[in-house]
Amino acid sequence: MSIEIYEAGATVELWAHVRDWGADPMSPDQGTKITITDAIGSEKVTSASMSQSSEGELVYRYNIPTNAAKGSWRYQCKGQDGTGGDTRYTVKSGAFRVK
C-alpha cells in the first residue's frame, strides 16, 4: 500500500470501510469518529464525525494547514457497534505524508 503525499494547504480525503457485527457498513450516527495526528505527534483532529458516501463508505475531508509539520501523519477511524456488554469497536488506521 502506497502512502499518498500532499502539499501543506491541500485538502486530503480520508476514506474508511468500517463494518458492524453483520458486516454491514457503519454510519456516522453509530459513533464512527476520526482522529488525525501530525508528524510531530500532535492531535489535529480529535474524534470528529465523518460523512457517509452513497456507497456506504465513510469519508472525512481535512484541510492541511499551510504551516503543517512535514512528514508522516496518521489517522484512525473508530466505530462502535452495540451497547453495554455487546459493544464491539472497529478500528481502521492509515497514514499520509505532508511535504
Count of H-run helices and E-run strands, the chain: 0, 8
* 8 A C-beta contact, residue 23 and residue 16: no
Residue with more model confidence, 59 or 86? 59
CA distances from 43 to 5, 29, 55, 87, 96 (A): 19, 23, 29, 26, 14
Domains of the chain: 4-98 (2.60.40.1930)
Q: Tell me how far apart the terminal alpha carbons of the chain are, to the nearest angstrom.
A: 19
Q: What is the pLDDT of residues 61-85, one digit of tens each?
A: 999 999 999 999 999 988 766 655 5
Which residue is associated with the grid cell 456507497? 55
Give 35's pLDDT tier (boundaries 50, 70, 90): very high
- Which residues, in sequence order, are bridge partners of residue 32? none
Residue with more model confidence, 2 or 43? 43
Quote the cell numbers at residue 75.
489517522
The pTM of the whole model exceeds 0.95: no
